[in-house]
Amino acid sequence: MKNSGIAAALLGLLCLAGSSAVFAQVKGVYWTTSGMFGPFPITGLIPTVPKDRQRDVTIPVSMWIIDHPKGLVVFDTGNNVAVSDGNCKSYWAAGLCDFLKPSQKRSDVIDEQLKKVGFSADKVKVVITSHTHLDHVGNIAMFPNAIHVFQKKELYQGWWPEKFQGRSTPGTFVMGDIMPAREFNYLELDGDYDLFGDGSVLILSTPGHTLGHQSVKIKLASGGSIIMSQDAIWMQENLDGYPAGLNYSVQAYTNSVNRLKFMRDLEGAQLFMAHDQDQYAAKGGRWYK
Ligand SMILES: [Zn+2]
């Protein structure tokens, strides 16, 4: 009797210890953009879009701020600050500037976006980067004291992209983005990862667009989940079966699109895409809690 009483007390303590993890919930997730790209024809990105759905698009360059009790997290840092205020050609290849038409203002850059919602860049504990393309890894150098989370393969890709992905720099990979960050602290992953060990911020391996692309899934305090695909899924047309026109592996890309789609459907999660004009217009620039 006495023993079972002790056992019950111990069990109670264990339950309490377990529940503390439940309370370490994400306080909020803010969706913002590093200016816009466009307008340009959608077929410049997705060549197989059929005639009746072809149009010019002006797309966001999605970045995310995740407020977690164990640390402030940024997911993707947008276009390099040097691209701001019409100075694109001083930093990116002229052809990319002409095609993408970035409209980034200095106030759109991640450090200013953090300020806008009450944080300073030096308070960021973790920077997760989906992949090493110019519109996602652009400002990691602004976070010298953060832990930088990449798939290890993506670091290989960033430093030495295959020729067909554009090895010349500046191209879609810009050495100036990663060079100043070479000696930073890197958490180098090979697959999925539970960032704070409480299931609230899950990093999902979603290769295909690049060799080591990754997405993030967040469990919100309200109970719902959101998936930030970043470039695993650019926009609605990709969900509708028209593949992105820029891929390291179309097979891996297709698997990743399907993985996130099924996750959305089975879990009832919201799926947010990196570059969807209509979705950002309806749901961007706000907190999710
Ligand atoms: Zn992108």
Q: Could you tell me the distance, in angstroms and rounded to a whole number, from the CA of residue 174 to the centre of ligand 1?
A: 13
What is the pLDDT averaged over residues 251-269?
98
**Ligand 1 centroid vs 117 CA: distance in angstroms?**
23
| pLDDT digits 0-9 by tens, 223-249 | 999 999 999 999 999 999 999 999 999
Task: Compute the distance between CA of residue 119 and CA of residue 223 in angstroms, rounded to an integer.
Answer: 25
HSE value, Cβ hemisphere, 13 Å, CA-based, for 142: 23
How many A from CA of 289 to the centre of ligand 1?
25
Residue 1: band (very low, low, confident or very high) from pLDDT cuts 50, 70, 90: very low
Centroid of ligand 1 to alpha carbon of 140 (angstroms): 15
Instruction: Give residue-wise pLDDT tens across range 12-65.
Output: 554 445 444 456 799 999 999 999 999 999 999 999 999 999 999 999 999 999
Q: What is the mean pLDDT of residues 153-167?
A: 91
H or E stretch at 72:
strand 71-75
Q: Taking 90 as the threshold, does the pLDDT of residue 76 lie above it?
A: yes
Determine which of 14-18, 177-181, 260-264 has the lowest per-residue pLDDT on average. 14-18
The Å distance, Cα 135 to ligand 1 centre, comes to 5
CA–CA separation, 245 vs 277, rounded Å? 17
CA distances from 59 to 144, 207, 246, 247, 273 (A): 29, 22, 16, 19, 11
Q: What's the whole-model pTM score?
A: 0.92
Average pLDDT rounded to a whole number, residues 101-119: 98
Q: How far is the CA of 123 from the centre of ligand 1 (A)?
A: 25
User: Mean pLDDT over residues 111-119, rounded?
Assistant: 98
Cα angle 166-92-189, degrees, rounded to a multiple of 5: 55
Query: What is the mean predicted confidence (pLDDT) over 183-202?
Result: 97
Torsion angle (degrees, nearest 10) of CA 173, 179, 180, 182: 120
